[in-house]
Amino acid sequence: MDKKENTMKSGLLPVKKSVGLLLDPDKAAGIYLDRVIEIATSQKVDYILIGGSITFRSIDKLITYVKEKCSIPVVLFPGNLLQLNTKVDGIYFISLISGRNPELLIGNHVLAAPFLKDIREKVIPVGYILINCGSITSVEYLSQTEAIPSDKGDIIIATALAGEMLGMKMIYLEGGSGAKMPVPEKVIKAVRENISVPLAVGGGLKNADHIYNAYNAGADLVILGNGCEKKPVLLAEACKIRDSFR
């Protein structure tokens, strides 16, 4: 990896407590979108992630709109191959390492690689671990995989370690869209104590206490999606909590 590529990638990984806003192309529109971008800009959100489980609307239009409205790094968080785009600042190349669906472990990545080969300096391999947080989520259903039960700490730790050993640059513990509760603090803490790469946490984060607890347990990056759709001010609260840890 040359110096330019290393610098590009390092800027897309959290080196201190960070906030990521996840925008779903099928939900981010109108007054909500403008309001949440305004909050993200004023509160200095670290990353805007764009992606979703299903594609009804063009992801390209959303990326263009967000980049016109703010200077926050836009990172692609693709839910499927239809969401690939080369105009973003970075791409989280996600492997669903908690499941055993070969398409989401390597199959889709093989198909995507030729499309992304000329912007490989933007690609960040991320180990995605789906945790059962009280309900069957969209990700679990569409991926045809089972989430790891939250009380199976040894399996979660081993999976995170395997992801790091395979070269993943970040591990993402995900409760899933619409999760009833966030990833338990003890799970976050246990994983943080066993890996050396950045740790992201998302799903089920509905209030300030959830966000504080995630950071306190060891999350480097907190990702907010559904919670902001229902309560945009949650994004501002998350940034204030982030700042208190810096």
pLDDT tens profile 77-117: 999 988 999 999 999 999 999 999 999 999 999 999 999 99
pLDDT value, residue 6: 55
Q: Which residues pair with 171 in a beta bridge?
A: 127, 199
Report the C-alpha gap between 79 and 149 in whole angstroms.
22
pLDDT at 5: 55
Give the pLDDT score at 227. 83
Beta bridge partners of residue 76, listed in sequence order = 50, 91
- At residue 2, the pLDDT reads 58
In this structure, how many other beta carbons lie within 10 angstroms of the beta carbon of residue 123? Answer: 22
Distances in Å between the alpha carbon of 56 and those of 52, 82, 120, 171, 245? 10, 10, 27, 28, 38
Indicate the pTM of the whole model.
0.94
- Per CATH, domain 3-245 is 3.20.20.390: yes
Q: How far is CA 221 from CA 67, 102, 188, in A?
A: 21, 27, 12
Spans of the chain, pLDDT less than 50: 7
What pLDDT was estimated at residue 29? 86
Q: Where are the domains of the chain?
A: 3-245
- pLDDT in the model for residue 180: 80
In angstroms, the CA 19 to CA 140 distance is 24
Contacts of 73 (CB under 8 A, 6+ apart): 11, 12, 46, 47, 48, 89, 90
Quick: pLDDT tens for 116-149. Answer: 999 999 999 999 999 998 778 888 888 999 999 9
The reported pLDDT for the residue numbered 63 is 96
